[in-house]
Amino acid sequence: MASTATIKAALGHVSSQVDEAIDIADIALVLASFDHPSTDLKIYRDHVRELAEAVHVAMLESGFDVDNPGPEEMAEVLSNVIARDFNYVGDEENYNDLDNANMMRVIERRRGLPVSLGILYLAAARAQGWVAAGLNFPGHFLVRLESRDGRRAIIDPFYNGRVMESRALRELLKLVRGTAVELDSSHYRPVSNRDVLVRLQNNVKTRRMELNEIAGALEAVEAMQMLDPENASLWREAGVMHMRLGHLKHAVEAFEGFVSRTPEGADRRKIAQVIEELRERLH
């Protein structure tokens, strides 16, 4: 069990870590602790290890080359274990349910968002020593697996870890971004562990805003700030939310954080003006 202060300390530690050292599933569980601070994470951490061990056993029993599996073979083993044996599935019926972005509840319910399920796929794959990364795909989180010889496969954690060929990727992109958008190299670009965790937490922020729970949305943004403190846009978001809550002093501090992290330009000048206006109101 952990207090809110302990949770924040754990997230603060992440800000100083090199990205490759971040245990993505464990930090996702720490983020989930904000909603359940008195819950012991051990049972959930044990489950993440159980998933990884099950993938290892399934790989040994698969008949594939354990030392040098192809990406499609990795995908097959992962999907068989996570989607079939452990019954993880994308929550299509209640996609916007906040539980789908809370890793503890995802594990309990065996359903979640593309990014929360993707974190489990990433953790299980990396535990085998496989190269796995989240992709910069808009609107729908995907995972890329890569073999030692450079072959790659893209899988969709939301739909049972299915392998996504170019045609399926193009169709998905048009579904989430409109028919005029075309697939390009940026959609295949891997993202950092921090980006994945911020993307997870951004879902919490968005749902809280939709429910007009500004304080809860602000808590989500502040967690993202601890993960990625140099992300200027998060400081601006925090400032806006503090203003809506009437926390003018904290709004000034957040906006100052934005200004200090933003190059000269229209956005910086606009927020600097807001800071001056807020200071006038505080006096």
Give the mean model confidence (pLDDT) for residues 100-128.
Answer: 97
Give the mean model confidence (pLDDT) for residues 72-83.
Answer: 97
Cα(135)–Cα(127) distance, integer angstroms: 19
For 215-225, how does the pLDDT look when each residue is reduced to its tens digit (9 = 90+)? 999 999 999 99
DSSP 8-state secondary structure symbol assigned to residue 59: H
- What pLDDT band is residue 9 in, cutting at 50, 70 and 90? confident
- Quick one: which H or E segment has residue 144? strand 143-146
DSSP 8-state secondary structure symbol assigned to residue 150: S
pLDDT value of position 263: 93
pTM: 0.93
The answer on pLDDT for 209 being more than 60 is yes
Average predicted confidence (pLDDT) for the chain: 93
Structure token pair of residue 204:
């919490």
Q: Dihedrals φ, ψ of 189, to 5°?
A: -75, 130
The answer to whether residues 145 and 125 touch, using CB atoms and an 8 Å cutoff, is yes
- What pLDDT band is residue 283 in, cutting at 50, 70 and 90? confident
pLDDT value of position 271: 96
- What pLDDT band is residue 2 in, cutting at 50, 70 and 90? low
pLDDT value of position 79: 97
pLDDT value of position 65: 92
Residue extents of the structural domains in the chain: 44-188, 230-282
